[in-house]
Amino acid sequence: MLVSTGRDLSSQVRAPRTAFVNFPMGNPFGHPFDKVTQRRILLEALHILGSVTEGGTLIDLPCEWGEEFGLNLGAGYARA
């Protein structure tokens, strides 16, 4: 069971079961200290684990990050 924030990579790897959340990389269970969202994602992932019988299944979870996120290269990155 994989909880993923990288849908394109997860679809290529084809783990036995994958729950995709459209969150920033490194935050597959949501914001730090957001116990409600973290629990909801965990319970949905466990449901997928117990109910999906076909390997390679990828399910999009209906989760919202709640704010804009994107690539942040940091101050040391030289832009072209």
pLDDT of 73 strictly over 90:
no
Would you state the pLDDT for residue 78? Answer: 58
Note the pLDDT tens digit of each residue in 8-62.
999 999 999 999 999 999 999 999 999 999 999 999 999 999 999 999 999 999 9
DSSP secondary structure, 11-77, as one string: HHH--SEEEE--S-TT-TT-STT-HHHHHHHHHHHHHHHHH--STTEEEE-----SS-------TTP
Q: What is the pTM of this model?
A: 0.81
- pLDDT band at 67; cut points 50, 70, 90: confident
Average of pLDDT values for 75-80? 57
What are the extents of the domains in the chain?
A: 2-60
69: CB partners within 8 A, 6+ apart: 23, 24
